[in-house]
Amino acid sequence: MFERLAVLFSPQFIKFCVVGGLGLVTDQSIFFLLSLTIDHSGPFINVIWMVGYAVAVLQNYLINHYWTFKTQTQDTHASSRGFVSFFVVSLTALIPRFITYKAVLIVLGASPLTLNLANLCGIGAGTVVNFFGSKFLVFKKKN
């Protein structure tokens, strides 16, 4: 178990976080722009963060495939099957992300600032789940 946790200090995890940072910029930019166009008390506020998320997942899959996990994927091309696996792992990471998102909104209330803060906190909460799923399921080197 400690061996798996030690990977959180590896260059690969740092690359994964850099890619995640790029995804964060994509995700947050889309979220911010969409949040300017809707009523914050309306039903769409709980859905708009998913749009930025979906775009960021596609971007992250491609960069992780060709950069972060290139030693595992050097003999393969990005594929729809790989993307679906990555997307499923990313959906699993939505559980801690959504719980954190809602918890921040419950504590701080909904406003343009707290919506964005809640989104950022949720992204951070899902990162570790996403990394382990990516490393050990999606981009696991085939023998």
Q: What is the pLDDT of residue 1?
A: 63
Q: What whole-number distance in Å separates Cα of residue 16 and Cα of residue 67?
A: 9
Q: What is the pLDDT of residue 143?
A: 64
Q: What whole-number distance in Å separates Cα of residue 105 and Cα of residue 120?
A: 12
Those residues with Cβ within 8 angstroms of residue 24's Cβ, 6 or more apart along the chain or in another chain? 56, 120, 123
pLDDT tens-digit profile of 61-90? Answer: 999 999 999 999 999 999 999 999 999 999
Phi then psi dihedrals of residue 79, to 5 deg: -140, 165
Q: What is the pLDDT of residue 36?
A: 86
Domain limits, the chain: 10-138
Q: What whole-number distance in Å separates Cα of residue 24 and Cα of residue 13?
A: 16
Closest CA to 8 of 132, 95, 98: 132
* pTM of the predicted protein model: 0.74
Mean of the per-residue pLDDT values for the chain? Answer: 89
